Amino acid sequence: AGYVILQYVVIATAWNILGGYAGYVNFGTPAFFALGAYTAVFLVQTARPPLPVLILAGGLVSALLGLGIGYLTLRLRGVFFSIATLALSIVLQTVIINWEFVGGSRGLSVIRPSGPPFGNYVTFLFTVMVGLAVGAVLVARFIERSWIGRGLAALRDNEEAAECMGVPTLRLKLFATTVSGFLLGVAGAPFPYYVTFVEPNSAFAIDYAVNALAMPMIGGTTSWVGPVIGAVLLGSAQQLATVTISSEMNLFIVGVVLVAFVVLAPEGILGLVRRLRGR
């Protein structure tokens, strides 16, 4: 459960760099996550490098995909950009389903390396994910507090006005898609070793797209803290529901909580706290 929650901290933080800071809503989260996972599967099948290499490779390949999407969707905004990212996920899943080397539609068993540096391999993966979550949050915090964050905020609020003021909107958009893609790929790379069996339906699960959107919105999209709060709260609720009720209830829980926050606290928990402090 702890690993999954930390994984969602990375995913929610990555999504928020593009969707929250820049205002470009990405429905293609599963594509970047799965690309990181299947990059790791490909390398395990060919060379079996150590886990840090798998993580770096997964992040870089997904970053290249993010950069490519940024270029291909230069003039797309709003719902058109979101639809393009959703289409990307569908296309990439189709490619993976027809690629037998990484398991195709049947999936592939992945054997964990023997002798982790400490403890058992699940404990080792948990520790690795702690480091990735901390790293992702530090990256988001740095972006938010730098001139890049201010430029992304201007891009989000009014892209035309930002261009008129000399803000490099194109470069900022490419930066956001690349960094977001990198972090999503990093989150996906350890996935094959965690589940030990990878197939397209699990790697491209709609849960990743829904949770990546819901968690920052619940916590608040304007700060690096928001996705962390949303991931911990919603991730914990989902894990509790999986153990006590059924995993099938996860998306139902997300939907109910998201609707409640959209109605009662549209700026998320952070916005609600600010409003209460202002009274």
CB-based burial label for 83 (10 Å; 0-12, 13-18, 19+)? middle
- Percentage of residues of the chain with pLDDT beyond 70: 97
> Which of 278, 162, 279, 144 lies closest to 222 in space, CA to CA?
144
* pLDDT tens-place string over residues 45-60: 998 899 999 999 999 9
Judged by DSSP in three states, 234 sits in helix
How many CB atoms within 10 Å of residue 52? Answer: 10
Q: Distance (Å, rounded) from C-alpha 141 to C-alpha 145?
A: 6
* pLDDT tens-place string over residues 121-174: 889 999 999 999 999 999 999 999 999 999 999 998 888 888 888 889 889 999
Q: What is the pTM of this model?
A: 0.93
* pLDDT tens-place string over residues 188-209: 999 999 999 999 999 999 889 9
Give me the helix-helix angle, 121-145 and 51-72, nearest 10°. Answer: 40
Q: Distance (Å, rounded) from C-alpha 199 to C-alpha 203?
A: 6
> Which of 118, 117, 120, 99 lies closest to 108 in space, CA to CA?
99
pLDDT score of 248 = 67
* pLDDT tens-place string over residues 240-266: 877 777 666 777 777 787 788 777 777
